[in-house]
Structure 1
């Protein structure tokens, strides 16, 4: 209240001193302080907000819930590795900030301004982004403000149920499709390319993105009697048709805020290490039953980092388990144990040297254990999606194909499911091999050379991939989907794992759908032995201004983060 009174007092003083200066108050006539910016100048800010929200919340926290990677210290008591949650002002709050601040009223402005000026392409794109942000946020937080989210003159906002938000997302998508259809019918009047650095103003690609949102929205409800697999398949068929339709956000990497959050410059991944779960999926252990060379996924060398020591049977790819960390984390680099400039041949130095070579490498490169260029815009460092100029995916063709495959298998369309399953695998190979430099000069995530066609063919013919529709299981689909989303699609993977209650069995095999995945033992102390299901609303704003609503929906309970989501319930 003190700050509000001070603001009013300052405002009153300003009005007293300038009431006779009409030109000063006419800010819309001053190009330096314009209050009616063009849609082309507002849209880029909303697009840029997407990776910030996804990478910081997803990369640091949700990625640990689904075991993309984990904390690498040997004394690992990390709350999030153990699926816990702690109360803190900015912790896990980037999604909330993105939806309600960075994107919120900016998108509302684009919609209102676009309708006024007849810019159907901008209106359609803005409505699509609104739908996407609310879908993402409700899957992250549960009940959230939706209908009253941007109600003017309001400090406390009503929380809508997740069911209501899901319906609202569907409505926003349908509205977006109407405006995009109008834009497609009058391409000569479209100016979206001026502000759109994702699809360069292509309304057809925006339309596919909207159908992708609808596919997610409808498919998340697999546990409900109302689940409509045919509708999901319909949406998938109208969504991304190839890797060229992927929604990826590029980075210029000229300053901190336009550089990839996972790149070496920003140095956010130094304590994180790839999990043993993803290693098992890629080295053949989980999908083929053995990590012999013939069973190793060629994507492993492009996605993961190998250690110096290659004596573990899979080429040196190692990971960590939740609550365990890297047992060799405290050891120095192998070279620190050299004797007279060469590797030791005996004694304690040899023991330490061999153990240090077993350390799990950082995501930025093979046999690399620290960041080689923090705070430096070196675009030759990093690996896969962990480069300063690597683009960040929001939705991909491969993901859509795996959604279609699961929906088809659930509706006994095994042939359709198998085709989509193979398309999903190929789609992820294409995702890695795509030349991204055409998107604002982004870095290619395959590094020096793409995955050879022969390696892909060998993998598809090998033991990791089913050869026909007969015997295709949910496990086959979901594990390949996990691989395709690893490193970026943590939130969708989290939705999937919660749909399957993390460790639910595949009815075809009676083994876990997420075969070889294990929950942390024990789970975090505040979990009451239950896995995590949701994230609390923004701590600072909601606990200060909206406490009554939090009390109403039960947020203040200690184990609220383990309360199951509406979408995952029957």
Structure 2
């Protein structure tokens, strides 16, 4: 019999600093083979690793700022050698899921447990799609070959094709007749869909959509990828009821293990006040993107209102400040953003009260922004606490101890579809998908609203679900969505960015990189001297119709509040990938890293190596 190893990893987290495994072939008290379903629960719970790494990726998308010393380097778009920060997804794919997922698939195939094998392939496709988008080139063919002491890297183009192949394999297996009586083996261990095959099939198609959508800025997208995306989207998620989320136990301080709580909840100090909303996120969600003087890069000061001290751009993409007019206020601001307004949680069902909240964002590595100080994601200007006369309770929205981990949503699929249609010149269909995407994100956002207790400063959301739903209906039918008279790529991509905020930061980063951060350049792709120099990035002005993300300027851009150079190792470029996990690749697989092209993985600026999905063609050799 082929030797099998079962890696025993506790649910929700790995406890202690040393990982151990049980060799079932040498343990006389264990069976010769572990049934495949026993791997399932643990494999699914490892998706909390995505939220670990969003602490690195969130600041790169200007969804987050951070004062955490480990992660400020990512906010400044460069890499600190010797740190495993930003390497959790790598660990998830190669270790936490790793051979557990391989064994689940292989044993299920051998036993003709087609449903279980199909679920395994769907998760494998999802995980590897995320891995290559974040890290670029990765060891794939050599990943789980027994006996290897080093692992060759595969180029992203090949990994992309394999991801879709795994997804289609998942669909094939899930569509096969399966008369095995699983009892509760799958339903009790599947924390995403409880064994619902239809939803797992839609999930696999959604992975294909996500994979192909990242190629939308390639020269051959319409010819080689768009039709496949459209066909997959038609079979992917059909409504927000299909959203893929990982259910967790929660329990806050009463949980038997702290790791039973959401990674971003108050019971686990992973966000606390070390992470906070970036000012660009606040500007986008409140319609306060400023206008810049294109001759100086300075904002135009008005000195009329301390909350709005600068002239605002005439064209806002998501919303504006005309809150008295129906459909102009985006209620997602009151849920997705933290605010210190309404400390006693009063009048949560009153529209005028909610619309009066004030929001502040910080900078890349400071809570102090251009007009004020950003609160924590829980809504106070102090580190999170869960006890006392005033506290954050068990959190709010998706920063709640019992909130599930969001993997992907129907709204995201619709925005991918809208972008594809727009690129193909099918504007009416693009507009329809766009409207569905915004409406779906409203539904998904509302699902996790837990209003605080009126009159008590003890945490929760500062709006009721009833009021949110009413305001959402007005917004969806208002001038920024249903009444929009000229759909642009900016409307699609910025609404997608809002829908992904902040759980989908990795996919938002994909979009920003494929559009090259709106850097102004000529030719195939930006480069030193053609988009940036050592101390300055030349970004498109918001007045440029081709600029996708209005108001977005990187740290060394030519506008007020930026103008700070990146680390010299970047040679002027923003980051285009995270380096592989240090204690895996830089300790044990260095020679394989050295062979990577066009920039070796050992180079000081490897993090700036543009991934294949962001090249208009196949890229330099």
TM-score, normalised to structure 2, is 0.75
- Asked if 1:266 is matched to 2:257, the reply is no
Relative distance call for 1:76 and 1:326 in structure 2 (3 A) is: farther
Match of 1:455 among 471, 480, 494: 471
Q: Deviations over 1:496-526 (max 9, x none)?
A: 0001101156999625211101101224212
Would you say the 8 A contact 2:276–2:375 is kept in 1? yes
Match of 1:486 among 501, 504, 529: 501
The CA distance in 2 between the partners of 1:213 and 1:103, in whole Å, is 18
Aligned to 2:207: 213
Would you say the 8 A contact 1:433–1:451 is kept in 2? no
Q: CA RMSD in A?
A: 3.1
Aligned to 2:294: none
How far did 1:221 drift?
Answer: 1.1
Q: Which runs of 5+ in 2 are unaligned?
A: 1-22, 289-315, 344-352, 451-458, 520-539, 557-563, 617-621
Aligned to 2:531: none
Would you say the 8 A contact 2:393–2:460 is kept in 1? no
Aligned to 1:348: none
Relative distance call for 1:458 and 1:447 in structure 2 (3 A) is: closer
User: Which runs of structure 2 are paired with 1:514-529 in the superposition (5 Å)?
Assistant: 514-521=549-556, 522-525=564-567, 526-529=569-572
- Asked if 1:192 is matched to 2:222, the reply is no
How far did 1:188 drift?
Answer: 5.7
User: Which runs of structure 2 are paired with 1:313-392 in the superposition (5 Å)?
Assistant: 315-326=357-368, 358-365=372-379, 367-373=380-386, 380-392=393-405
Match of 2:91 among 97, 102, 109: 97
- Asked if 1:410 is matched to 2:410, the reply is no
Match of 2:195 among 191, 198, 201: 201
Match of 1:292 among 309, 313, 322: 322
**Larger displacement relative to structure 2 (394-403 or 541-550):** 541-550
The CA distance in 2 between the partners of 1:247 and 1:25, in whole Å, is 33
The CA distance in 1 between the partners of 2:478 and 2:38, in whole Å, is 50
Aligned residues: 503
The CA distance in 2 between the partners of 1:567 and 1:122, in whole Å, is 31
How far did 1:268 drift?
Answer: 1.1
The CA distance in 1 between the partners of 2:180 and 2:466, in whole Å, is 36
The CA distance in 2 between the partners of 1:302 and 1:308, in whole Å, is 13
Aligned to 1:4: none
Would you say the 8 A contact 1:527–1:562 is kept in 2? yes
Aligned to 2:14: none
Aligned to 1:277: 280
The CA distance in 2 between the partners of 1:243 and 1:277, in whole Å, is 27
Report SS of the residue matched to 1:502.
Answer: helix
How far did 1:217 drift?
Answer: 1.4
Q: Which runs of 5+ in 1 are unaligned?
A: 1-23, 329-354, 438-442
Match of 1:146 among 127, 140, 164: 140
- Asked if 1:54 is matched to 2:50, the reply is yes
Match of 1:82 among 53, 60, 76: 76
Would you say the 8 A contact 2:334–2:463 is kept in 1? no
Aligned to 1:248: 245
Aligned to 2:603: 557
User: Which runs of structure 2 are paired with 1:110-189 in the superposition (5 Å)?
Assistant: 110-183=104-177, 186=179
Would you say the 8 A contact 1:96–1:538 is kept in 2? yes
The CA distance in 2 between the partners of 1:435 and 1:327, in whole Å, is 28
The CA distance in 1 between the partners of 2:24 and 2:121, in whole Å, is 33
The CA distance in 2 between the partners of 1:238 and 1:166, in whole Å, is 20
Relative distance call for 1:506 and 1:95 in structure 2 (3 A) is: same
Relative distance call for 1:214 and 1:444 in structure 2 (3 A) is: farther
Aligned to 1:464: 480
How far did 1:448 drift?
Answer: 5.0
TM-score, normalised to structure 1, is 0.82
Q: Deviations over 1:230-265 (max 9, x none)?
A: 221111111111111111012212222221111001
- Asked if 1:301 is matched to 2:301, the reply is no
The answer to which structure, 1 or 2, has the higher relative contact order (CA under 8 A, 6+ apart) is 1
Relative distance call for 1:433 and 1:540 in structure 2 (3 A) is: same
- Asked if 1:223 is matched to 2:217, the reply is yes
Relative distance call for 1:173 and 1:523 in structure 2 (3 A) is: farther
Larger C-alpha radius of gyration, 1 or 2? 1
How far did 1:88 drift?
Answer: 2.2
Aligned to 2:59: 64
Q: Deviations over 1:398-441 (max 9, x none)?
A: 1001000000111111111111101111111110223799xxxx
The CA distance in 1 between the partners of 2:149 and 2:605, in whole Å, is 27
Relative distance call for 1:211 and 1:374 in structure 2 (3 A) is: farther
Would you say the 8 A contact 1:62–1:491 is kept in 2? yes
The CA distance in 2 between the partners of 1:380 and 1:539, in whole Å, is 36
How far did 1:223 drift?
Answer: 2.6
Would you say the 8 A contact 1:284–1:292 is kept in 2? no
Relative distance call for 1:129 and 1:25 in structure 2 (3 A) is: closer
Aligned to 1:341: none
The CA distance in 2 between the partners of 1:301 and 1:449, in whole Å, is 11
- Asked if 1:427 is matched to 2:440, the reply is yes
How far did 1:167 drift?
Answer: 1.2
The CA distance in 2 between the partners of 1:547 and 1:428, in whole Å, is 43
The CA distance in 2 between the partners of 1:417 and 1:144, in whole Å, is 34
